[in-house]
Amino acid sequence: MTIDNSHGKYDLICDNCGYIYDEPVIGFHDALDVKKEAGWKSKKRNGNWEDWCPECAGESEG
């Protein structure tokens, strides 16, 4: 997940499909909390950590 800080808010962006979480998040630590609560999953690919939205995370587990 890219946590992009623009215009005073943080956007959660799936590193797999590019989905952008639809509610603005105000702080970086809040973004991390929202990520967990919303079911996003961290995955290591090619030596880099990525964060995937629940839909992409579910597809990779099935």
State the DSSP string of 7-53.
Answer: TTEEEEE-TTT--B-SS-B-SHHHHHHHHHHTT-EEEEETTEEEEE-
Per-residue pLDDT, 33: 93
Q: Is 23 helix (H, G, I), strand (E, B) or coil?
A: coil
Q: Give pLDDT tens digits for 20-59.
A: 998 878 888 888 899 999 999 988 989 999 999 999 998 7
- Residue given tokens 């509610």 in the structure block: 23
Q: Which domain holds residue 40?
A: 2-61
* 19, 13 contact by CB (below 8 A): yes
**Structural domain total, the chain:** 1
Instruction: Say which residues have a Cβ less than 8 Å from residue 8's Cβ, sequence separation at least 6.
Output: 26
pTM above 0.85, yes or no: no
